[in-house]
Amino acid sequence: MWEVQLADLKLDFFDCRSTAWYVGAASYPIEMIILADKSGSMKGRRNTICNATISELLNTLTDDD
């Protein structure tokens, strides 16, 4: 019906979901409890994976959590 040339459009791809004010308003403080198994079965690689996972979880927290 109507032909639109994309080159003629001046699109603004601003996404407010990536701004700090949106993230702060759309999220809420996180409460987290982490239990880690430190028994003999968690030696070596399993312990390394467990520690890395806990570290990554803690890195997701902000000052507001």
The pLDDT of residue 36 is 95
Mean pLDDT of the chain: 85
Say if 34 falls within a structural domain.
yes
Question: Does residue 58 have a pLDDT over 90?
Answer: yes
Say if 57 falls within a structural domain.
yes
Instruction: State mean pLDDT over 1-28.
Output: 77
State the greatest distance between any 2 C-alpha atoms of the chain, in Å, as a whole number. Answer: 71
Q: Whole-angstrom Cα distance, residue 20 to residue 43? A: 40
The pLDDT tens digits for 16-35 are 888 888 877 877 888 899 99
Say if 1 falls within a structural domain.
no
pTM of the entire predicted model: 0.57
Say if 12 falls within a structural domain.
no
Q: Whole-angstrom Cα distance, residue 2 to residue 8? A: 14
Question: Where in the sequence is the domain holding 52, given as residue range(s)?
Answer: 30-65
Whether the CB-CB separation of 30 and 61 falls below 8 Å is answered with yes
User: For the chain, what is the domain count?
Assistant: 1
Q: Whole-angstrom Cα distance, residue 17 to residue 24? A: 10
